[in-house]
Amino acid sequence: MNGSMDPDTEYSATVWKHFHTPSNAGEFLAGTAGVLNGEAGARQHGRAVAFQLQVTADGQVADCRYRVYGCPVTIALCSLTSEALKGQPLTAAAAYSVVSLAEQLGLPAEKHAAAITVEDAIRSAAGRYNSHVQPLAAATEFTYRA
Amino acid sequence: MNMAIYLDHNATTPLDPRVLDAMLPWLQGVHGNPSSIHRPGREARAALDRARMQVAALVNAQPAQVIFTSGGTEADNLALKGVCSGKPRGRILVSAIEHAAVLGPVEDLIRQGWQVQRLPVDHECRLDFNALQKMLGDDVRLVSLMLANNETGVIQDVKAVADCAKRHGALLHTDAIQAAGKLPVDFVALGANLMSLSAHKLGGPRGVGALIVDRRVDLAPQITGGGQEHGLRGGTENLAGIIGFGKAAELARLELDVRNRHLRALRNNLEAGLQSMSGISIFAEQVERLPNTVQLGVAGFDGEMVVMELDKRGIAASSGSACHSGSGQPSHVLLAMGVDEAYARSAVRISFGMSNSMDDVQTLLAALMTIASKRSGALALA
Amino acid sequence: MNQKTIYLDYAATTPVDPRVAEKMSGCLTCEGMFANPASAHGPGRAARGAVEQARNQVAALVGAEPGEIIFTSGATESDNLAIKGVAHFYKHKGRHLVTSRIEHKAVLDTCKQLERDGFEVTWLKPDADGLIQPPMVEQVLRPDTVLVSIMHVNNEIGTINDIAAIGRITRKHGVFFHVDAAQSAGKLPIDLKTLFVDLMSFSGHKLYGPKGIGALYVRRQPRVQLDPLIHGGGHEHGLRSGTLATHQIVGMGEAFSLARQELTKEAPHLRALREKLWQALHTAVPQAMLNGHPTERVCGILNVAFPGIEGESLLFACGALAVSSGSACTSADRQPSFVLRALGRDDQLAGSSIRFSVGRFTTSAEVEAAARIVSEEYRRLLDLAPVG
């Protein structure tokens, strides 16, 4: 629903699409293997992001989920980023520049803070890689028990 | 139509039907507040911005230099008080022929402790340049000189005055309210720092004007609250009015030559006809004037009476600035030109517009002839 | 695919009533009416007549004498003129002003400007319901207090201040009382013959008139004097110079005249629509909280806080609705509403509040649709948010 907020003059159609129908929102079921949790921001500051990366044994991001409290740009950036990270090595994901994405989308400088929060949440998740998470087995390896 | 011939266009002009067409949609249906972020608000904002560009284009200014006001009077007030109010007091130089809308704020600044000196004009209503140069000094903060006078129509060399003012570190304000739409007006070329405009003098609606201001000027807002117009003029914008102003400005820009020629032809026709009438002369006849303006002196007559007689014959004219009608005061402009009081009282101003024709000129001449022939009658001055 | 906007932002601005537009068009096209009302000739006289009739219409709605009504370019100018005009004229008597923290920006910025010019201002904090209680005013009056300015109805939360009681206090203390009635004229009965109000600001475009026109009531008995804001030709008894916009004035007059005829029917109708909206919202979203006093509110305004989601997102998610978060003049600013903050709402709750305002052309169907859209989008955003 595009409605009357006339987005065209402010943000791009892409941003609005990802705001109104964000991809990969939500969270993995509890107990799902290979999930790294990260968070950044705080509600009282207007923006809070909880990002989940599902990582394979060989360090690839298989899937993402997120929950977000924040402005339309924050929501859209989470959605766009979640699509971009899939299939990336975790190291690349950790270095992914949401700020560059924001610039490419033509977002004003004031909105870069939203991008930074999303980055922080991803890096917070990535930073937990070597702790007690059970990595997801690589997609090609399935262990069948006879 | 209850008024057969309207010859008072310097007081106000009829609304151009094309301007009305541009305005009407904004008086119908739902339109937002331009400060609102929703669609109706954004649409209103976009229309406002377009109008701003149109007004800027008329005077070769940048849209960001256009501050919309509720009219020319408010623009003059904002210019003078915005520059001076609350600042360390100094001197202001104001021409002796300015409109009440400039003289009013000047009086207020005098009450606040500013020193104001009148720049004299010669008998042809032209600024005395030597006097200006003598009066300028380091403590002069602002010079105000109108581009074209509303009564005599005389056009000033604002550029020369601006150059002079700048050399002494003073700002220049010019009231271009009568000039815009009748002559090419170029904010940049004039070198002014502030310039006042009014919509209803160029076929636009009443209740809206603009101050064109070089944004480097430190201008204190006079109407605060809401942050509109870059914080320089608060209050929800007169949307329909501003859109009308924009349209009027655009038409004025596109049709300037046509208008100039038409008006000038009418004026020449009138002046030729007046040559043969004894006892009637034209103030500042020989100098460059607005193409539509003729201020006449009718010897032995009271100008107000002549206007009333013309009114009876279905002709609307004026005996000087509309603001002073009925005040019984002779025109300060004519007095500044050295015209004696009795003769100044005989002044009648004719200001043509696009709705006038050569027939109107002939009708006017005939009426003046009739009225003047009553020289020894009740209309004569005592 | 854009749906038609559901306009629920009457407090920001109203559409021009077609009957008002017709009167205005008549002025803009009629040959005799375009003339300058100050001119001596026939057309000038006709214009003057129309202006005086409009003045009578404005005066009649509020129980004033026509001679006490000055036309201005809007309520912002009226507020500026009233406050600065009185402060400067009477500064020899004192330099203390009293106002509230939740006045319209036109009053706040004007008082701030006066503070910079050496006046002292006491800024009253409203109670938790958003009201300025009369004893709050009485407590801060001093011998050098010259003016109190308190709005009749708050534009954000719609709360109604008891200007009758406040007026009794200011009159008792010999202090002038200015009231910004931009949101109340035509929606609440106002009788300046019985109110001890000395100055009152009115807006054209909040009452189905055009933008760019307003008025200021300046009491004559006992006389209030002002330093004018706009000097020049001496119009409006020297209080407000500048060529009058006949069509604007006629428009405002007609709007006020219609309001006078329709007030008794319209106010309950708007209240019913507003209550319907609130009930529907509150039922679908039990967490939603009302901002401002539950009953002391003007008929059309409803300000609701939606906890747990971010405000800008809710606003844009409900893109089919034209509503407001914060007052229109500062919407683009994206600061949490200072009015809601003054009520004690934290930044997030203030930021996630929406002001709905219904008006003359609002339909029941629109209200139902709005409630549905808001509750759906609220739930979607709540589901999207991190838990806890």
ipTM at complex level: 0.90
Each residue's pLDDT expressed in tens, for chain B with a length of 382 residues: 345 799 999 998 989 999 999 999 999 988 999 998 889 999 999 999 999 999 999 999 999 999 999 999 999 999 999 999 888 999 999 999 999 999 999 999 999 999 999 999 999 999 999 999 999 999 999 999 999 999 999 999 999 999 999 999 999 999 999 999 999 999 999 999 999 999 999 999 999 999 999 999 999 999 999 889 999 999 999 999 999 999 999 999 999 999 999 999 999 999 999 998 888 999 999 999 999 999 999 888 889 899 999 999 999 999 865 445 556 688 999 999 999 998 999 999 999 999 999 999 999 999 999 998 876 554 444 4
The reported pLDDT for the residue numbered B320 is 65
List, for residues C295-351, the tens digit of each pLDDT value.
Answer: 999 999 999 999 999 988 999 999 899 999 855 554 455 678 889 988 899 888 998
CB-count burial class (<10 Å; 0-12, 13-18, 19+) for A30: exposed
| C209 in the same domain as C66 | yes
| C230 in the same domain as C270 | no
Nearest to B72, CA basis, from B179, B221, B220: B179
| C316 in the same domain as C339 | yes
The reported pLDDT for the residue numbered B239 is 96
C9 contacts on B by Cβ (under 8 Å) = 32-33, 36, 38, 40-41
Residue C243 located in a structural domain? yes
Confidence of residue A132 (pLDDT cuts 50, 70, 90): low
A69 contacts on C by Cβ (under 8 Å) = 308-310, 384-386
Chain C: give the shortest CA distance to residue B41, in Å: 8
Select the residue of C1, C316, C387 nearest A72 (Cβ to Cβ): C316
Quick check: C213 and B29 CB within 8 A?
A: no
Look up residue B379 and give its two tokens.
């209309």
| Average pLDDT for C13-17 | 96
Look up residue B57 and give its two tokens.
């284009």
**Element spanning B361, H or E:** helix B358-372
The reported pLDDT for the residue numbered A137 is 61
Chain C: give the shortest CA distance to residue A47, in Å: 8
Q: For residue B193, give the DSSP letter.
A: S
CB C62 within 8 A of CB C195: no
Cα angle at C348 between C346 and C351, to 5 degrees? 105
Quick check: A7 and C320 CB within 8 A?
A: no
Residue C1 located in a structural domain? no
CB B204 within 8 A of CB B15: yes
CB B222 within 8 A of CB B81: yes
| C112 in the same domain as C89 | yes
Question: Final residue of a domain: which of C258, C288, C320?
Answer: C258
Residue A3 located in a structural domain? no
Residue C191 located in a structural domain? yes
- Using CA atoms, how far apart are residues A105 and B369, in angstroms rounded to an integer? 74
- Using CA atoms, how far apart are residues C252 and C246, in angstroms rounded to an integer? 10
Strand order in the sheet with C289-290: C289-290, C301-305, C353-357
What total number of domains does chain C contain? 2
| C310 in the same domain as C250 | no
Chain B: give the shortest CA distance to residue A105, in Å: 20
B227 contacts on C by Cβ (under 8 Å) = 105, 329-330, 333
Does the pLDDT of residue C165 top 80, yes or no? yes
The reported pLDDT for the residue numbered A113 is 93
Question: Final residue of a domain: which of C208, C228, C258?
Answer: C258
Which domains are seen in chain B, by residue range? 5-12+256-372 (3.90.1150.10), 17-251 (3.40.640.10)
C331 contacts on B by Cβ (under 8 Å) = 35-37, 41
The helix/strand/coil state of B339 is coil
Range of the domain at A82: 11-126
| C155 in the same domain as C225 | yes
Range of the domain at C37: 18-258
CB A93 within 8 A of CB A66: no
Look up residue A126 and give its two tokens.
């990535």
Q: Is the dihedral of CA B59, B201, B235, C148 positive or negative?
A: positive
- Using CA atoms, how far apart are residues C277 and C370, in angstroms rounded to an integer? 8
List, for residues C254-279, the tens digit of each pLDDT value.
Answer: 999 999 999 999 999 999 999 999 99
List, for residues A77-96, the tens digit of each pLDDT value.
Answer: 999 999 999 999 999 999 99
Q: Which of C8, C19, C73 is best to mutate for the B interface (most B CBs within 10 A)?
A: C73
| C153 in the same domain as C33 | yes
The reported pLDDT for the residue numbered C45 is 77
Would you put residue B236 in left (φ > 0), alpha (ψ -120 to 50) or beta? beta
Question: Number of H helices and number of E strands within chain A?
Answer: 5, 3
| C140 in the same domain as C210 | yes
C246-284 and C42-62 helices cross at what angle (nearest 10)? 30
| C276 in the same domain as C238 | no
Confidence of residue A2 (pLDDT cuts 50, 70, 90): very low
| Maximum CA extent, chain A | 61
Residue C320 located in a structural domain? yes
CB A18 within 8 A of CB A75: yes
C10: domain CATH number is 3.90.1150.10
Confidence of residue A138 (pLDDT cuts 50, 70, 90): low
Nearest to B12, CA basis, from B199, B253, B245, B231: B199
- Using CA atoms, how far apart are residues C284 and C278, in angstroms rounded to an integer? 10
Confidence of residue C26 (pLDDT cuts 50, 70, 90): confident
Residue A52 located in a structural domain? yes
Cis peptide before C18 (omega within 30 of 0): no
- Using CA atoms, how far apart are residues C284 and B137, in angstroms rounded to an integer? 72
Quick check: B42 and A3 CB within 8 A?
A: no
Contacts of A92 (CB under 8 A, 6+ apart): none
Residue C150 located in a structural domain? yes
CB B40 within 8 A of CB B208: no
The reported pLDDT for the residue numbered C292 is 93
Cα angle at C314 between C309 and C315, to 5 degrees? 145
**What is the radius of gyration, based on Cα positions, of chain B?**
21
C75-89 and C105-116 helices cross at what angle (nearest 10)? 30
Residue A49 located in a structural domain? yes
The reported pLDDT for the residue numbered A142 is 43
A30: domain CATH number is 3.90.1010.10
C74 contacts on B by Cβ (under 8 Å) = 70, 235-236, 238
C190 touches chain B (CB under 8 A): no
- Using CA atoms, how far apart are residues C78 and B62, in angstroms rounded to an integer? 30
Look up residue B76 and give its two tokens.
């003059």
Quick check: B38 and A6 CB within 8 A?
A: yes
Phi, psi angle pair for A140, to nearest 5°: -80, -10
Q: What whole-number percentage of chain A has pLDDT above 70? A: 83
A5 touches chain C (CB under 8 A): yes
| C291 in the same domain as C212 | no
What total number of domains does chain A contain? 1
- Residue with token string 């001596």: C40
**Side chain identity, residue A50:** A
List, for residues C92-108, the tens digit of each pLDDT value.
Answer: 999 999 999 999 999 99
List, for residues C200-256, the tens digit of each pLDDT value.
Answer: 999 999 999 999 999 999 999 999 999 999 998 888 888 888 876 889 999 999 999
List, for residues C44-91, the tens digit of each pLDDT value.
Answer: 677 788 999 999 999 999 999 999 999 999 999 999 999 999 999 999
Q: What are the Cα distances from residue B354, in Å, to B21, B289, C139, C243? A: 18, 17, 63, 21
Quick check: C385 and A46 CB within 8 A?
A: no
The reported pLDDT for the residue numbered C41 is 64
Known catalytic residue: B323?
A: yes
- Using CA atoms, how far apart are residues C296 and C321, in angstroms rounded to an integer? 26
CB B152 within 8 A of CB B283: yes
